[in-house]
């Protein structure tokens, strides 16, 4: 079967068949929009903060309203690590190892006083803040923080993801590589 020859009119920008289904945006904005609305947390529950994290995931507070309910207990499937609780030195390198296994892009939330700064544990046994080992995007205050605070923290992280420009950066790197 031979296709009919296309006239100049059918190649024009306007096509009534796809009207309303096309959005023009920046690639970065589209990627960020997809990333921020399906944050899969890696629940690193180490102490009482983990109880509040569980409450935040349950029906009363319901993390899934924001697309963050898919708690993955495998670091390979997670986007954001929620360090919820006291990081002891005995646990510290295990947390780091799990963080290292998470694929990029990845984010980290230090939930509560202990994960942020060691909290009330100024002692030989406690790491004085998880930011000594891994980069932290959002710190949540509280001992432990209420579920609303965790939701606020995750929404702050979404705001932060909105401002990222990974594609633009990749393009710059690519151009630099080509020039060099």
Rounded to the nearest whole angstrom, what is the least distance from the CB of residue 166 to another protein in the complex? 32
What is the greatest pairwise CA distance in the chain? 81
Q: Which residues bind another protein (CB under 8 A)?
A: 89-90, 92-93, 118, 121-126, 128, 132
Other residues' Cβ atoms within 10 Å of the Cβ of residue 59: 7
Nearer to another protein, 47 or 57 (CB): 47
Instruction: Single out the residue of 124, 126, 40 nearest to residue 85, CA to CA.
Output: 126
Query: CB count, 10 Å around CB of 156?
Result: 15
Q: For residue 112, which phi and psi values (nearest 5 degrees)?
A: 90, 170
Q: Which is nearer to another protein, 110 or 151 (CB)?
A: 110
**Distance of alpha carbon 81 from alpha carbon 43, whole angstroms:** 6
Residue 90 C-beta: closest distance to another protein, Å: 6
Taking the complex as a whole, how short is the minimal distance between the CB of residue 27 and another protein, in angstroms? 41
In the complex with another protein, the residue whose CB is nearer, 112 or 118, is: 118
Q: How far is the CB of 116 from another protein (least distance, A)?
A: 14
Please name every residue paired with 41 in a beta bridge, in sequence order, or none if there are none. 80
Nearer to another protein, 88 or 166 (CB): 88
């Amino acid at each position: 079967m031979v296709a009919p020859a296309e006239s100049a009119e059918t190649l024009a920008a306007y096509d009534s068949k796809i009207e309303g289904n096309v959005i023009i945006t920046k690639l970065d904005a589209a990627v960020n929009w997809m990333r921020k609305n399906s944050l899969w947390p890696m629940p690193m529950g180490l102490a009482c903060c983990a109880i509040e994290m569980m409450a935040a995931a349950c029906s009363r507070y319901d993390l899934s309203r924001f697309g963050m309910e898919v708690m993955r207990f495998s670091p390979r499937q997670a986007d954001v690590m929620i360090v919820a609780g006291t990081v002891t030195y005995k646990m510290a390198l295990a947390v780091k190892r799990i963080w290292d296994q998470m694929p990029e892009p990845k984010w980290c939330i230090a939930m509560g006083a202990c994960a942020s700064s060691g909290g009330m544990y100024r002692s030989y046994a406690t790491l004085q803040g998880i930011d000594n080992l891994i980069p932290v995007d959002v710190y949540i205050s509280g001992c432990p923080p209420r579920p609303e605070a965790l939701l606020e923290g995750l929404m702050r992280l979404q705001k932060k993801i909105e401002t990222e420009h990974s594609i633009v950066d990749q393009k710059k790197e690519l151009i630099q590589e080509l020039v060099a």
